[in-house]
């Protein structure tokens, strides 16, 4: 009966998830996983620092509209991924980080590079899990992929102890049923009553503006936004992460008049972006204190915790 080790299972699971490229810096206990990934036909791009691997995975995710994958050895190598993952968390980009770790059986014995990677990484990602049995690698990798893309996209981390990667299992006992499941890509629609309220506000507004972010990109709604701007003639502005959804030579794009537009607007429609420092938390005097604020965001917490009171709050896909 043929057997596979955890590293080989991981490589096959990555292939089944449609991963064709990943970014890594070689080192134990991930050496065999990296070699097995190459044998599976995955293009493994070596870097000189793990932070670069995480940031390259983030850039890949934005360009390809799917999770970027990065891989690192145990201890300081995996910790070096954290800056790039924190950046992906702030920028809402789906990155799947795979970190080698000290063996589970050596936990607490001060084995090589033993440190609580889960505790360190948890603050830099939206989801973190440790694999305790090689049989579950396909399942947990797919879960990580799903979590990275679900709701507001973001980075996830999968902790892979050395003894799990070296574990030998019978190939026919590996459960591949959950491997390669299509990413759900849930796009919840808005309540019709809320949309009608927004439509009425738009029809009454004299000086409306649209402010959009990367949510439009992840929803692949650039054509719909372009059509809205064309049909209504409403001036639009994007955050740095949301640029390009509508060409900036469009007749409704007035970047030089941004401050005046925000200050004089009577209706501000916020689409798929956080109200953080980039948009000055939508606070006066940069933004009109008297404007009606409408906001659409897929993340209910973003709506519930808005730094400025929302007149038309809508939890839905932008």
CATH architecture label of 192-315: 3-Layer(aba) Sandwich (3.40)
Residues 103-112: what's their mean pLDDT? Answer: 72
**Could you tell me if 262 and 286 are in contact, meaning their C-beta atoms sit under 8 angstroms apart?**
yes
Q: pLDDT, tens digit, for every residue of 280-318?
A: 999 999 999 999 999 999 989 999 999 999 999 999 887
Q: Closest Cα to residue 221, out of 191, 250, 244?
A: 244
Mean pLDDT of the chain: 92
Are 85 and 125 in contact, with CB atoms under 8 Å apart? yes
- Find out if CATH 3.40.50.970 is the number for domain 3-173: yes
Question: What local confidence, expressed as pLDDT, does residue 148 receive?
Answer: 96
Of the candidates 124, 131, 140, 110, the one whose C-alpha atom is nearest the C-alpha of residue 55 is 124
Task: Please give the helix or strand (H or E) that residue 97 lies within, else none.
Answer: strand 95-101
pLDDT higher than threshold 70 for residue 1: no
- List residues bridging with 44 in a β-sheet: 22
Token readout for 164 is: 């799990």
Pairing type for strands 312-315 and 292-297 reads: parallel
> What predicted TM-score, i.e. pTM, was given to this entire model?
0.88
Give me the pLDDT at residue 104, please. Answer: 80
Contacts of 279 (CB under 8 A, 6+ apart): 211, 239, 270, 273, 287
Q: Which residue has the higher pLDDT, 245 or 154?
A: 154
Give the number of other CB atoms < 10 A from CB of residue 70: 30
Q: Give residue 317's pLDDT.
A: 84
Q: What is the mean pLDDT of residues 215-231?
A: 91
Query: Could you read off the pLDDT of 87-99 as tens digits, one per residue?
Result: 999 999 999 999 9
How confident is the model over 126-180, as pLDDT tens digits?
A: 999 999 999 999 999 999 999 999 888 999 999 999 999 999 999 889 989 888 8
How far apart are alpha carbons 98 and 108 in whole angstroms? 22
Checking if the pLDDT of 112 tops 70, the result is no
Domain boundaries in the chain? 3-173, 192-315
- Dihedral class, residue 185 (left if φ above 0, else alpha if ψ from -120 to 50, else beta): left
Tell me how far apart the alpha carbons of residues 207 and 263 are, in angstroms, rounded to a whole number. 10
Q: What is the pLDDT of residues 12-67, one digit of tens each?
A: 999 999 999 999 999 889 999 999 999 999 999 999 999 999 999 999 999 999 99
pLDDT at 7 > cutoff 90: yes
Edge-to-edge strand list for the sheet holding 43-46:
43-46, 21-24, 68-72, 95-101, 156-161, 127-130
pLDDT band, very low/low/confident/very high, at 241 (cuts 50, 70, 90): confident
CA distance 2 to 8: 12
Q: Where are the alpha helices (DSSP H) in the chain?
A: 6-16, 31-39, 50-64, 76-80, 82-91, 117-122, 137-149, 162-166, 192-204, 215-218, 222-232, 258-264, 300-304
Domain 3-173 matches domain 192-315 at the CATH topology level = yes
Asked if pLDDT for residue 106 goes beyond 70, the answer is no
């Amino acid at each position: 009966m043929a057997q596979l080790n955890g590293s080989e299972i991981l490589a096959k699971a990555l292939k089944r998830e449609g991963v064709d490229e990943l970014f890594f810096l070689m080192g134990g206990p991930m050496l065999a996983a990296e070699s097995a990934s190459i044998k599976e036909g995955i293009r493994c791009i070596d870097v000189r620092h793990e932070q670069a691997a995480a940031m390259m995975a983030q850039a890949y995710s934005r360009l390809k509209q799917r999770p970027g994958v990065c891989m690192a050895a145990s201890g300081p190598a995996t910790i070096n991924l954290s800056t790039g993952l924190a950046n992906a968390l702030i920028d809402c980009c789906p990155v799947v980080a795979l970190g080698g770790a000290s063996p589970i059986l050596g936990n607490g014995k001060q084995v090589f590079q033993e440190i609580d990677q889960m505790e360190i990484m948890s603050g830099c990602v939206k989801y973190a899990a440790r694999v305790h049995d090689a049989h579950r690698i396909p399942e947990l990798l797919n879960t990580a992929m799903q979590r990275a893309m679900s709701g507001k996209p973001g980075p996830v981390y999968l902790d892979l102890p050395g003894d799990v990667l070296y574990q030998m299992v019978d190939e026919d006992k590996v459960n591949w049923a959950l491997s390669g499941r299509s990413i759900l890509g849930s796009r919840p629609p808005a309540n019709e009553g809320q949309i009608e309220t927004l439509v009425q506000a738009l029809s009454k507004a004299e000086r409306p503006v649209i402010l959009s972010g990367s949510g439009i990109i992840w929803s692949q709604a650039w054509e719909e936004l372009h059509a809205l701007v064309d049909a209504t003639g409403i001036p639009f502005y994007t955050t740095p992460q949301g640029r390009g959804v509508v060409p900036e030579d469009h007749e409704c794009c007035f970047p030089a008049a941004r401050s005046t537009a925000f200050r004089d607007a009577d209706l501000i429609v916020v689409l798929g972006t956080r109200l953080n420092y980039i948009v000055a938390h939508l606070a006066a005097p940069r933004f009109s204190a008297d404007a009606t604020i409408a906001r659409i965001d897929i993340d209910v917490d973003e709506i519930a915790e808005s730094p400025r009171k929302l007149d038309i709050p809508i939890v839905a896909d932008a």
